[in-house]
Structure 1
Amino acid sequence: MHKRKLVITHSLDQTLIDKIANVIPEWEIVVGKEKSSWENAVKDAEIVAGWKTELEALCLKEPTPLRWVQSWSAGVNSMPLEKLSRNKIMLTSANGVHAYPISETIFAFMLGLTRKIHTYVNNQQTKTWDHSNLKSEMHRKTVGIIGVGEIGKETAKIAKAFSMKVIGIRYSGKSERYVDEMYRPEELNLILPRCDYLVVTLPLTADTRRLFRREQFELMKPSSFFINIGRGEVVNESDLIAALQAGEIAGAGLDVFATEPLSSESPLWGMENVIITPHTSGSTEHYHQRLIETIFLPNLKDYMAGKPPAINAVDYSKGY
């Protein structure tokens, strides 16, 4: 008898595999990070957890038995959304897995830039004892969070420990705990002059691509800091560079870029008022466990009960 098949394109601890097997004891479960682990199995998979570029050719040939894809990342913009939608394949993302590690990176950027930690680290390399004109503090300042999802909500919560005023922007405009004022995307320019820190957590969609251009940076305070942990293409990178060079903003913390890896020729590398991380803000020792236990397993139970997975279901019309 032909077994229903789940393919997971990442390596998991046996304890997590056992938890999955308890929900689908009659299924064949194929687990492994290397392509050789799943290449032959994926064409017959009903569920795939963890999307890779090669999968499009292997398991999206029509007709396909694939019914559900669990993304291993929060962003799904690099996936073949049109093909998945056309084949009526359900898609769920990893939103929520990253709230703790990414919010920690956001505050590492904010504190590092405010207290000039990066400057002092550079001074340490040359054994330079220099005050470096340190004068700013973060308490009681205003942070604008552009995209109040799980990451934005955690960021707002932590901001309150610094007695910060929190302004948020989300598509629905719905109020949120720890956010003092909430606005809709079309009101972005109204809040920019008020923010001491601007934190971008947005996914990449047709509406968010190059949302931040020279016009937006010119509206920001010269003392403000720009933090982007969403997607690089949400920002016009050349306009950001120009704004930093012109002193229109004080600095930037950047984890994502329009082209990755960031070119060695980019002026961003050499800017003293910029902190760069290589798209690692979501990295955490608990990643697989959180994804499986808080998202995939509850969704799998729904799926086996004949219901569509409800947690982080992607709306193809919106792109997230």
Structure 2
Amino acid sequence: MKIVFTMAIPEELQKEFAKQFETDKTYYTDNLENFPELKEVDVIVTYGSDLTEPLIQAAENLKWIMVYSAGVDSLPAEAITRRQIKVSNVRGIHAYPMAEFVMAYLLDDVKQLRFFSSAQQKKTIRVRTSRS
């Protein structure tokens, strides 16, 4: 299997990938349009915004696109469907950070952190009588 990554992957992760997964060849490029081995690759790992219909057509051996983002709206869906290329993404990747963000704002509101932070900066002690 031949895989091409279209995003910057640190060298230590490239080495780790090579240790963990057997591939015929793994490529790293930041420009698929000028990538000479595109015709031969089986898998493209990308953020998705760099894939166009002509690139999909040029990748004659392509079987799978792994998108490193939650959304796949920018992909040329018709060309992918026509060729029956599998697509996977990182759906739910932001679930925990979003939940943490919501919890932080809930705690901020319930514990009135902005009110007390403001009072602390002004070096005042005030009793809050309402929540507005």
Q: TM-score, normalised by structure 1?
A: 0.32
Distance 1:81 1:61 in 2: 12
**Match in the other structure for 1:24:** 22
Moved over 3 A (4+): 96-100, 113-121, 126-135
What amino acid does structure 1 have at the position aligned with 2:2? K
Distance 1:46 1:114 in 2: 52
> Which has more helix, going by share of residues?
2
**Match in the other structure for 2:130:** 133
How far off is 1:73 after superposition?
1.4
What amino acid does structure 2 have at the position aligned with 1:40? N
How far off is 1:94 after superposition?
0.7
Q: Does 1:72 align with 2:68?
A: yes
How far off is 1:46 after superposition?
1.9
Output aligned runs, 1:137-176, within 5 Å.
none
**Match in the other structure for 1:283:** none
Give CA deviations for 1:64-110 in whole Å, capped at 9, x if unaligned. Answer: 32211111112323433333222201011113543433322221232
Give CA deviations for 1:159-197 in whole Å, capped at 9, x if unaligned. Answer: xxxxxxxxxxxxxxxxxxxxxxxxxxxxxxxxxxxxxxx
CA contact (8 A) 2:51 2:76 kept: no
Output aligned runs, 1:1-320, within 5 Å.
5-22=2-19, 23-27=21-25, 29-32=26-29, 34-35=30-31, 38-41=32-35, 43-44=38-39, 45-61=41-57, 64-117=60-113, 123=118, 127=122, 131=128, 133-134=130-131
Give CA deviations for 1:35-58 in whole Å, capped at 9, x if unaligned. Answer: 4xx442273332111233232145
Distance 2:74 2:112 in 1: 35
Greater relative contact order (Cα < 8 A, sep 6+): 2
Distance 1:134 1:84 in 2: 54
What amino acid does structure 2 have at the position aligned with 1:20? F
Q: Which has the larger radius of gyration?
A: 2
**Identical residues among aligned pairs (%):** 22
Going from structure 1 to structure 2, the CA distance change for 1:106 and 1:83 (only over 3 Å counts) comes to farther
State the SS of the aligned residue for 2:52: helix
Structure 1 residues without counterparts, runs of 5 or longer: 136-320
